[in-house]
């Protein structure tokens, strides 16, 4: 009786340990839920769409650049950026994901057709039509 109890304990321990190792392995090689991890406003973006010179204040004639760090996106997913001045919608752009398990950066930019009005702006980033992140920034004279 004592031996069988010990055997069950050892088997339960092995099962728990293997489950934890599988979860750790999955986290290291990808997998997990698709997500927008962060959004950063910047003066520019590099070739991989990573932010260069992050900022939350732009000038009247600056191009707005935003970099969204994403993880585990499925092929066919869509990341959309919607730009607002206060409550006024300005424009939107979408990026279609063509690689299953994509982890990296997605970039958005908005070029002014005339000087931006000073004030508060925001960018809403959607993953497959669901709001994932919002970042606020300002335009100053």
Give CA separation, 63 vs 57, 71, 101, 115, in Å.
11, 26, 30, 10
Question: Could you report the per-residue pLDDT of 85-104, keeping only the tens digit for each?
Answer: 999 999 999 999 999 999 99
- Contact criterion met (CB below 8 Å) for 140 and 116: no
pTM of the model: 0.78
pLDDT digits over 49-83, tens only? 999 999 999 999 999 999 999 999 999 999 999 99
- Backbone φ, ψ for residue 107 (5° rounding): -110, 150
């Amino acid at each position: 009786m004592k031996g069988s109890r010990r055997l069950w304990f050892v088997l339960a321990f092995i099962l728990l340990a293997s489950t934890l190792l599988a979860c750790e392995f999955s986290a290291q090689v990808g997998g997990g839920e698709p997500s927008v991890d962060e959004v950063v406003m910047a003066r520019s973006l590099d070739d991989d769409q990573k932010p260069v010179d992050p900022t939350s204040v732009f000038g009247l004639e600056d191009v707005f650049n935003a970099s969204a760090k994403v993880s585990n996106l499925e092929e066919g997913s869509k990341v959309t950026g919607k730009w607002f001045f206060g409550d006024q919608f300005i424009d939107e752009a979408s990026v279609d994901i063509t690689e299953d398990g994509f982890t990296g950066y997605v970039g958005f930019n908005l070029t002014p057709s005339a000087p931006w009005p000073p004030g508060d702006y925001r960018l809403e980033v959607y993953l497959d039509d669901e709001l994932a992140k919002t970042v606020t920034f300002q335009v100053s004279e």
